[in-house]
Amino acid sequence: MSDSDVYIEVKDLVVKYGDRKVLDGVTFNVKRGEVFVILGGSGSGKSTLLRNLVGLMRPTSGSIRINGKDFTGMDDEHRTDVRKKMGMCFQGSALFNSMTIGDNVALPLREHTRLEASTIDIMTRIKLELVGLGGFEDYLPSELSGGMKKRAGLARAMAMDPEIIFYDEPSAGLDPIVGAGLDSLIRKMQHTFNLTSVVVTHEMESVKLIADTVCMLHKGKVVGLGSLDEVQRTRHPFIQQFFARQPDEEGGDPEAYVSALTS
C-alpha cells in the first residue's frame, strides 16, 4: 500500500484513564475511499478509539496521522482545520430539537463558512435530497421517524463536503428494513463521493453489507484485522466466541441470584 492510499494511519496508540489502559498499542491503516468497520464487545475500547480519531481527546502515547499529517501533535487551531474535513454521524442523531431539519443541516455551513444565505439554502436542500429527505427542510426532529433522523444526521455530516465520515452505531435502534436502507446509503455515499468511512457498530448484518475492512478490538488491543472473512477465520478465542455468539462463562448463575432474592 502506497502512502497516497492511506488516509488514516494509527500507530501504537495507547490511552489510559488513570492507571487503566483502555487502548493498548492499537495499530492499523484506513485506506482512502474504503468502509472501515471497528467491531468489538462492550468495553473493548471502540468509543475511546473513535473519540481519538475525531480529535475529541488526545492519546497517552502513539500517533494518528490523517492524510499524511500528524493529527495527535497538532495544536488546536490546526486540528480544527483538519476536523472541518470530517463528518460525524452520532448514535442518537444529535439533532437540535428546537431547530428545523434544514437549520440542523445548515448549521456547519453557517458556523464555518462565509457563504451567502441563499447558497447555504441551496446546499442544504441538495444534501437533504441526497439522503431522501427532500421537502423535509421545515420539519422538526420530533416530527421524523428514527430512520429519518439518522438520515438527517448524515445530511448534516455531509454539509461541509467532508473527505471522511465517522459513524457511531448508525443502525442502532432501527428495524432491519430501515437499517438496511441506511447501510445502502452509506455505500451510496462512498461510491458517489469516494468517501472514506469509519463505522463503529455491533450490527453483524450491517458489517456483512458495508465492510471493506474490519478491525476487531478486545480489551484495548487489535485481535483481528482484514476482510470480514479473514477476521472470522482468525483463531483468537474472543473472535471465535464473538462470531459464535457464545456467552461468557463468568456471567454468573441466574438460579443462585433468584435463590438469594427469595431467601
Backbone angles phi, psi at 137, to 5 degrees: -55, -35
- Determine contact, residues 140/101, Cβ cutoff 8 Å: yes
Q: Give residue 254's pLDDT band: very low, low, confident or very high (50, 70, 90).
A: low
Rounded Cα distance, 123 and 119, in Å: 6
Instruction: Check whether 253 has a pLDDT greater than 80.
Output: no
Other C-beta atoms closer than 10 Å to the C-beta of 153 total 26
- pLDDT value at residue 90: 87
Q: Long-range contact list for 111-117, CB < 8 A, 24+ apart?
A: 112/84, 112/160, 113/160
Q: What is the pTM of this model?
A: 0.88
Rounded to the nearest 10 degrees, how much is the dihedral formed by the CA atoms of 225, 226, 229, 231?
-10
- pLDDT value at residue 2: 57
Cell of 145: 421517524
Q: Give residue 169's pLDDT band: very low, low, confident or very high (50, 70, 90).
A: confident
pLDDT, tens digit (0-9, with 9 covering 90-100), for 37-67: 999 988 899 999 999 999 999 999 999 999 9
Percent of residues, the chain, with pLDDT higher than 90: 70
Q: Domains in the chain, start-ordered, CATH in brackets? A: 1-83+209-248 (3.40.50.300)
pLDDT, tens digit (0-9, with 9 covering 90-100), for 130-160: 999 999 999 999 999 999 999 999 999 999 9
Instruction: Check whether 261 has a pLDDT greater than 80.
Output: no
